[in-house]
């Protein structure tokens, strides 16, 4: 029988890992009989390699038993006094002389739990609750004691490490009811972070530039989420406190960097801090301001749009006032920071808590507590664009096409991942614009952020009279409050800025009389919630196949609709007096909306002319009234 307890330890570790002897044998490449005999202590001198393979399979710490150490741990024990380092600000890592030390999961969890609360007592019950998720075995005190003993062998190397009877030199001390991780002299990244952050806070008032560097040194130690590879600890109060401390220090760092016109200096560390709390609005507001202050305004506005969309999707709320104020600051600022401090200038005063983003002049010193109202001298504040032309009245019919547009809007409101696009097409003067504008006006409440309109003049002859996409983009950006000096010179950049401004919002864009898909494509928003309504003489099939636009064909009015249009203009008494002539008038005008409007305009201003007389006159012409033939005034004059 072996007397050092290796067999019992391996057996306990196997049971705890939920493995059978067959599974251990298969994974370790040994026989089941060997596993059974070692666990029973029936092998006097088992081979070192066999023990190591079994230990690796079941997660047993060989360092707990003499003669069973792995090569790495054996080398460590042979060279006493080697330095070690513990990193918590990211994945839990234990380094000895720069080399990582492997540990089973429960030992790693225990070390993380103790080290994240340095110099504080952690009770047996708290440890058990973390390690076994509230379902600890009855013998958990013994297991906890075993784990602590194994941890001590790893992080307390050196001569006499087994002989600290009084606990005075132990890294992990036993106290009444629990254990304490002693931080004195430890190479613990959490302690370094707190020390440098405290130094930076003290220096911020008297030496802000040195404080800025100290803040960056403190934050540089963060390599991701605290204890990133131990999700069972993420909700522990101590871990949550450290994560919040990270964000608080990052915000202090950002406020100081922005005050010193060093926006770009803070961006990387702010983004690392936002990894833990992507919806932390004060932090995101500072990232927006830092991006804009370093000349990346489009990226800052895109971040705002993404944040707004996530808040609405995940929490059903709009961004906080602080985020909106940061956006306003970005829209109103004149250019990137980076100006040198004036010689002999007084150091800036400490910034008030939770005040950043509350002014449009964030690079010029202390910040007020709230955003002042935009000066009346600024014509381009945040007024919502409402550019739709007036509705053409009266409007009759087109129920089928209106229903299709209503369906497209409803589909876009059900979590659709793409922009809604409708392409209304048909021959000239068929009523495409009238349909688009009429539907748009009746759906204003579905687009609370604004409505954009542009006449692209795609049917203009010659073609060089068509409106270029960059011209339309420039008009749209101005209407959204973008100063002229911000507006990019290239279509690609202007299109990207427009998409950033529209992202996460609900805009209706009406693009009238498009020549082809290429004239439209650069104007399209990039995110759902927005809807684009295009009219064209062409079916715009490329827009349908590539962008998923809904094609809506428009033809002449039906006989019933044409009769109703005449009746709406002339009144039911006059049409009822000549019902057959009214139907003939609709037919002789080809049931074209514009032709009908021009014909009844004459009848409306000349009540002495009968409908039958006008039909006879139009019949003598041999074709419907055309735009080229006469305008409304000539028709009215007879």
- What are the Cα distances from residue 457, in Å, to 391, 454, 463, 466, 595? 19, 9, 9, 5, 21
In the prediction, which pLDDT does 127 show?
A: 87
**Residues 64, 153 contacting (CB under 8 angstroms):** yes
Residue bearing tokens 């741990």: 73
Average pLDDT (529-558) is 89
In the prediction, which pLDDT does 423 show?
A: 93
Beta bridge partners of 386: 451
Distance CA 480, CA 321 (A): 19
Residue bearing tokens 């940061």: 326
Distance CA 288, CA 500 (A): 13
Distance CA 123, CA 136 (A): 14
Closest CA to 257 of 293, 298, 303, 297: 293
- Strand-strand pairing, 99-100 and 93-96: antiparallel
Distance CA 48, CA 13 (A): 18
Distance CA 200, CA 135 (A): 43
160 φψ region: left (φ > 0), alpha (ψ -120 to 50), beta (else): left
| Residue 427, burial from CB neighbour count under 10 angstroms (0-12, 13-18, 19+) | exposed
Distance CA 568, CA 565 (A): 5
What is the residue-wise DSSP string for 61-114?
A: -GGGSTT---HHHHHHHHSTT--EEEE-SSS-EEEETTEE----HHHHHHHHHH
- Strand-strand pairing, 450-455 and 420-425: unpaired
**Residues 54, 10 contacting (CB under 8 angstroms):** yes
Average pLDDT (19-28) is 79
In the prediction, which pLDDT does 166 show?
A: 43
Distance CA 629, CA 191 (A): 88
Query: What number of CA atoms fall less than 13 Å from residue 61's CA on the CB side?
Result: 21
In the predicted structure, residue 3 carries a pLDDT above the cut 50: no
Position 27 confidence tier, pLDDT thresholds 50, 70, 90: confident
What is the residue-wise DSSP string for 142-201?
A: HHHHHHHHHHHHHHS-STTGGG-TTSTT-SEEEETTEEEE--TT--BHHHHHHHHHHHHH
Distance CA 247, CA 535 (A): 50
In the predicted structure, residue 509 carries a pLDDT above the cut 80: yes
Position 61 confidence tier, pLDDT thresholds 50, 70, 90: low
In the predicted structure, residue 622 carries a pLDDT above the cut 70: no
Distance CA 82, CA 96 (A): 7
220-235 confidence digits (pLDDT tens)? 888 888 898 888 898 8
Output 25 or 426, whichever has higher pLDDT: 426
Distance CA 290, CA 284 (A): 10
In the prediction, which pLDDT does 157 show?
A: 55
Average pLDDT (101-111) is 86
Distance CA 421, CA 405 (A): 10
Closest CA to 458 of 383, 540, 412, 513: 513
In the predicted structure, residue 1 carries a pLDDT above the cut 80: no
**What 3-state DSSP class applies to 423?**
strand
Distance CA 281, CA 96 (A): 40
- H/E element holding 455? strand 450-455
155-185 confidence digits (pLDDT tens)? 775 544 444 444 445 788 888 888 999 888 7
597-607 confidence digits (pLDDT tens)? 888 877 777 77
387-444 confidence digits (pLDDT tens)? 898 887 777 788 888 899 988 888 766 556 678 899 999 888 888 888 899 899 988 8
- What are the Cα distances from residue 295, in Å, to 12, 143, 336, 494? 61, 57, 5, 15
- Strand-strand pairing, 450-455 and 550-553: unpaired
Distance CA 101, CA 22 (A): 29
337-382 confidence digits (pLDDT tens)? 533 333 333 333 333 333 333 333 333 333 333 333 333 333 344 4
Query: How many other C-beta atoms can be found within 10 angstroms of the C-beta atom of residue 46?
Result: 20
Output 577 or 379, whichever has higher pLDDT: 577
Distance CA 319, CA 558 (A): 49
282 φ/ψ angles, rounded to the nearest 5 degrees: -60, -40
In the prediction, which pLDDT does 356 show?
A: 33
Torsion of CA 103, 109, 111, 114, to 10 degrees: 180
**What 3-state DSSP class applies to 422?**
strand
Position 68 confidence tier, pLDDT thresholds 50, 70, 90: low
In the prediction, which pLDDT does 536 show?
A: 92
Average pLDDT (16-33) is 77
Position 470 confidence tier, pLDDT thresholds 50, 70, 90: very high
- Strand-strand pairing, 178-181 and 420-425: unpaired
Average pLDDT (298-321) is 87
Average pLDDT (86-90) is 89
- Strand-strand pairing, 550-553 and 420-425: parallel
Q: What is the mean pLDDT of the chain?
A: 77
Average pLDDT (484-502) is 86
What is the residue-wise DSSP string for 339-373?
A: PPPPTTPPPPPPPPTT-TTS-S-TTSS---SSPPP
> Of the given ranges (359-373, 383-397, 526-540, 581-595), which has the lowest mean pLDDT?
359-373
238-293 confidence digits (pLDDT tens)? 999 999 999 999 999 989 988 888 888 888 888 888 877 888 999 999 999 999 88
**Residues 4, 66 contacting (CB under 8 angstroms):** yes
Distance CA 182, CA 201 (A): 25
The rounded percent of the chain whose pLDDT value lies above 70 is 80
**Residues 455, 467 contacting (CB under 8 angstroms):** yes
């Amino acid at each position: 029988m072996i007397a050092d307890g290796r067999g019992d330890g391996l057996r306990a570790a196997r049971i705890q890992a939920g493995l059978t002897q067959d599974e251990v044998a298969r994974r370790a490449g040994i026989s089941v009989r060997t596993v059974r005999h070692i666990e029973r202590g029936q092998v006097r001198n088992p081979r070192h390699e066999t023990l190591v393979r079994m230990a690796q399979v079941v997660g047993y710490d060989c360092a707990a038993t003499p003669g069973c150490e792995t090569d790495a741990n054996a080398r460590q024990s042979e060279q006493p006094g080697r330095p070690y380092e513990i990193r918590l600000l990211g994945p839990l890592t234990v380094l000895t002389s720069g080399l990582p030390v492997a540990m089973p999961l429960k030992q790693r969890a225990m070390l993380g739990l103790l080290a994240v609360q340095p110099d504080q007592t952690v009770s047996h019950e708290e440890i058990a609750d973390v390690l076994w998720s509230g379902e600890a075995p009855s013998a958990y005190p013994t297991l906890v004691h075993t784990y602590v003993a194994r941890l001590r062998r790893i992080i307390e190397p050196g001569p006499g490490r087994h002989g600290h009877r009084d606990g005075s030199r132990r890294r992990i001390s036993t106290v009444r009811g629990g254990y304490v991780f002693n931080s004195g002299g430890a190479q613990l990244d959490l302690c370094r972070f707190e020390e440098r952050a405290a130094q930076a806070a003290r220096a911020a008032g008297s030496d802000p530039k040195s404080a800025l560097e100290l803040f960056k040194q403190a934050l540089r130690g963060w390599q991701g989420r605290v204890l990133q590879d131990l999700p069972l600890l993420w909700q522990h109060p101590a871990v949550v406190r450290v994560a919040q401390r990270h964000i608080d220090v990052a915000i202090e760092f950002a406020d100081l960097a922005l005050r010193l016109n060093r926006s770009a200096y803070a961006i990387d560390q702010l983004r690392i801090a936002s990894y833990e709390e992507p919806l932390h609005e004060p932090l995101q507001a500072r990232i927006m301001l830092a991006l804009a202050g370093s000349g990346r305004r489009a990226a800052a506005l895109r971040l705002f749009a993404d944040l707004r969309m996530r808040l609405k999707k995940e929490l059903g709320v709009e961004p906080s006032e602080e985020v909106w104020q940061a956006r306003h600051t970005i829209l109103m600022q004149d250019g990137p920071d980076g100006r040198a401090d004036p010689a002999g200038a007084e150091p800036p005063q400490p910034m008030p808590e939770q005040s950043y983003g509350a002014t449009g002049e964030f690079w010029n010193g202390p910040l007020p507590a709230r955003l002042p109202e935009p000066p009346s001298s600024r014509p381009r504040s945040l007024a919502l664009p409402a550019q739709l032309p007036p509705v053409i009245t009266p409007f009759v019919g087109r129920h089928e096409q209106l229903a299709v547009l209503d369906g497209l809007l409803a589909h876009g409101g059900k979590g659709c991942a793409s922009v809604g696009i409708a392409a209304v097409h048909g021959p000239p003067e068929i009523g495409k614009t009238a349909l688009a504008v009429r539907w748009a006006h009746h759906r204003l409440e579905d687009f609370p952020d604004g409505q954009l309109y542009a006449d692209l003049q795609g049917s203009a002859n010659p073609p060089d009279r068509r409106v270029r996409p960059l011209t339309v983009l420039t008009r749209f950006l101005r209407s959204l409050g973008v100063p002229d000096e911000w507006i990019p010179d290239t279509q690609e950049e202007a299109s990207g800025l427009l998409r950033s401004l529209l992202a996460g919002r609900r805009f209706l864009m009406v693009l009238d009389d498009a020549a082809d898909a290429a004239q439209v494509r650069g104007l399209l928003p990039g995110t759902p919630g927005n809807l684009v309504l295009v009219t064209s003489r062409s079916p715009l099939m490329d827009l349908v196949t590539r962008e998923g636009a809904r094609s809506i064909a428009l033809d002449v009015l039906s006989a019933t609709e044409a009769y109703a249009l005449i009746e709406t203009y002339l009144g039911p008494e006059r049409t009822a007096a000549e019902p057959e002539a009214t139907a003939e008038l609709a037919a002789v005008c080809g049931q074209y909306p514009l032709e009908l409007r021009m014909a009844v305009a004459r009848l409306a201003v000349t009540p002495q002319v009968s409908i039958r007389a006008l039909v006879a006159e139009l019949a003598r012409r041999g074709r419907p009234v055309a735009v080229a033939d006469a305008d409304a005034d000539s028709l009215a004059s007879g």
